[in-house]
Amino acid sequence: MSVRVLRAASREAVPWKNGGGITREIAAWPQDAGMADFAWRISLAEVAADGPFSAFPGVDRILTMAEGAGMDLTVGGERRLVDTCCVPQHFPGDVATHCRLLGGRVVNFNVMYRRDRTSTTVAVVRGESAVTVPPGGTVVIVALDGTASFDGVTLGRYDAAVVRSPVALLAEGQTAVVTLLEAGA
């Protein structure tokens, strides 16, 4: 079994591309890719004020609110209310997106991927789950609240694990399972 555990305590806070918040990168591919050349990137973003999201040409986002009262987003001129924790929201990352907070700071679990290089799904699970990894794919498991465990590995809040083989997951709290597959794989 191939597992890489990524502890939340070791993540550095970095300003957003547009300076409107901070992000803590969980994982990216290629592993040392920057904002201009990632195939996929997973992070936790803290949003403390109303304002625009950074635009990323050719990138789609799957945003899952992990903490807070919510956001009223305007994505490409269309309003989208995000006021329930742990419900993945998919939208293009290259259209103008503006955020209005509903009641103070939020923390978003954010998956960004280049639509021409990667296909991605995000499921939020609780309880027992069989996590499969498609051939040539990668799965990233992130405990959003509570703990998640498999094969002797325990993840605390916001800890993550990158897996490349199937696992039997026990999620004591809401846990994100991100499946990433390179285009053509």
Q: What is the bridge-based pairing of β-strands 106-114 and 51-52?
A: unpaired
Which pLDDT band, with edges at 50, 70 and 90, does 184 fall under? low
**pLDDT per residue over 1-41, tens digit each?**
589 999 999 999 998 776 778 999 999 999 888 888 999 99
> Which fold is adopted by the domain 11-114?
Jelly Rolls (2.60.120)
Pick the CATH number of 118-182 from 3.30.300.30, 2.60.120.10, 1.20.1260.60, 3.40.50.720: 2.60.120.10
pTM of the model: 0.94
Q: Which two tokens stand for residue 185?
A: 């794989």
Report pLDDT digits (tens) over 64-75.
999 999 999 999
Q: Give the separation between CA 21 and CA 71, rounded to whole angstroms.
A: 14
Q: Which structure tokens are listed for 136?
A: 């040539």
